[in-house]
Structure 1
């Protein structure tokens, strides 16, 4: 039924203009032509990220969006830190944390929040 269909991530925002700036300028995503006054659509790889107004923005306590960025994770984290992004630190058994990056063996993970508090995740998977 859905196995051959594309999917997209969707996150809520209380301030669409602020979200457009964060996802477009801070994260460097390109806004898609399908965007409009009431919704912002961003291209991310072969998918899209939809950002829409919601009074419940940022209330989810789990990952909202995840990107597998491979070996570029350190470069991306450095770039984001230079743009003022702060990274979350979570305590997990067998995982170390340094420079905004969690490490479990060779696997690296990063969490940060958008301006509404939605949790965004990067990892060294592809």
Structure 2
């Protein structure tokens, strides 16, 4: 039976990715292997970053965090140099980087490797 879930993200430059996740998100790997960084949240949540020349080719959300205070998290990340994406496409338009529906508020940004990351707050 399927149990725990974690994301695997590509990176063209593993050291550059490590520096971004440390400086912008206060995250450091808990394990390192040749070409691979492993990050953990609590006991059963985490993600990996692996080195590959294919990094930055996906155009979809690759990882998302839930938050109780989107505005505070965005302010903290912006202070650390994170730039949030703006979208104006059918069905979604951001205002100051935030897309709002009846149930959620969400904001997307990219890491140094071109991965699309999201922060979502349930309303």
**TM-score bucket (shorter structure):** 0.7 to 0.9
Look up the SS of the partner of 2:122 in the other structure: coil
Please list every run of 5 or more consecutive structure 2 residues that lacks an aligned counterpart in the other structure.
none
Residue number among 82, 106, 111 corresponding to 1:109 in the alignment: 106
- Indicate the residue corresponding to 1:85 in structure 2: 82
Computed over aligned residues only, the root mean square deviation of the Cα atoms, in angstroms, reads: 2.0
Check whether the contact 1:94–1:104 (CA below 8 A) recurs between aligned residues: no
Which structure carries more strand by proportion? 2
Q: Indicate the residue corresponding to 1:50 in structure 2.
A: 48
Distance 2:54 2:61 in 1: 15
1:36 matched to which residue of 2?
33
Q: TM-score, normalised by structure 1?
A: 0.85
Does the aligned pair in 2 maintain the 1:39–1:52 contact within 8 Å? yes
2:97 corresponds to:
100
State whether structure 2 residue 88 is matched by structure 1 residue 73: no
What SS does structure 2 have at the residue aligned with 1:59? coil
Q: State the alpha-carbon separation in 2 of the partners of residues 14 and 35 from structure 1.
A: 16
